Amino acid sequence: MTKEKITTRATAYHFSDLPMATFVYVIKSARRVWVIDTFCGSLSMEPVLQDMPEGREVMVVNTHFHWDHVWGNCAFTGEVVSHRRCRELLAAGWEQELAKYGKYRRGRVERRLPTITFEQRLFFPEEGIELFYSPGHTADSISLFDHEDRLLYVGDNLERPLVYVEDPDLDAYLRTLEEYKKYRPQLLMAGHAKNLTLEEVEGNIDYLRHLKAGTEVVFVTEEERLIHAANQKVLKGECG
């Protein structure tokens, strides 16, 4: 694990013990500490806990229900916030995900569901923190905008080199990426990539339009070709 201060109040924790790089972000606002996603279990959250200021309320954010974003929830005792659908998916599928991906567990993984859920938007004006529904990668995805630093945290809705579509509603995905542009973020931070730019958002909009239309897309790398083939399968209803 390595960590990097990305603004005066935000830190990125970079985990490289999975096949894909993963980031957990921590924002220290006036009254709370925001932990965006909790990776693979209690052990992976230890470095985050070590940096926790005494007595500050912790608010864990689950950007979506996937195991590599929620298994460390049990390391925290405060509130956990997510979209309503995320909580439902976790309640229904926690044990199956653990059975399927258990080899990636780091320390304790106890079922800890979100304690606060919302539908469209939750705003914490004193903290400059806004959470909003942003379906795309999955139907339960949410994003967090830090108004003070103008950073947008997008969960798995953006990736490098290409997005992973796991829900066939591409119109919703496109609406979400258009919405991101309206926030005019300085940079965008994602679960498996950081410092993404609005140019990269445009690139993904372009890609999703091609995917939706079924038109041919030319890729430079084998990695992109493989992700694209997996995305096409999801659209055809053949889940990977």
Smallest distance from Zn ion to CB 234, Å? 12
Q: What are the C-alpha distances in Å from 140 to residues 64, 97, 143, 197, 198? A: 6, 16, 10, 23, 23
d(CA 203, CA 162): 9
Strand partners, 83: 118
Segment interacting with Zn ion, rule: CB under 5 A, options 73-81, 124-132, 152-160, 179-187: 152-160
User: By CB under 5 A, is residue 156 in contact with Zn ion?
Assistant: yes
User: By CB under 5 A, is residue 97 in contact with Zn ion?
Assistant: no
Nearer to Zn ion, 9 or 72 (CB): 72
Smallest distance from Zn ion to CB 124, Å? 24
Tell me the Ramachandran region of residue 63: left when phi exceeds 0, alpha when psi lies from -120 to 50, beta otherwise.
Answer: alpha
Nearer to Zn ion, 66 or 106 (CB): 66
Nearer to Zn ion, 140 or 156 (CB): 156
d(CA 193, CA 114): 24
Segment interacting with Zn ion, rule: CB under 5 A, options 52-60, 111-119, 149-157, 178-186: 149-157
User: By CB under 5 A, is residue 159 in contact with Zn ion?
Assistant: no
Total residues contacting Zn ion by CB under 5 A comes to 2
Smallest distance from Zn ion to CB 165, Å? 11
What are the structure tokens assigned to 112, written together?
Answer: 């800890």
Show contacts with Zn ion in window 24-43 (CB under 5 A).
none
Q: Which residue has the tokens 């200021």?
A: 53
Nearer to Zn ion, 122 or 163 (CB): 163
Smallest distance from Zn ion to CB 63, Å? 8
Residue environment code for 28-55, b if the CB has 16+ CB neighbours within 10 A, otherwise e: bbeebbbbbbbbbbbebbebbeeeeeee
d(CA 129, CA 138): 22
Q: Which of 9, 118, 19 is nearest to 53 (CA)?
A: 9
Nearer to Zn ion, 66 or 112 (CB): 66
Smallest distance from Zn ion to CB 131, Å? 17
d(CA 240, CA 236): 11
User: By CB under 5 A, is residue 140 in contact with Zn ion?
Assistant: no
User: By CB under 5 A, is residue 66 in contact with Zn ion?
Assistant: yes
Residues in touch with Zn ion (CB under 5 A):
66, 156
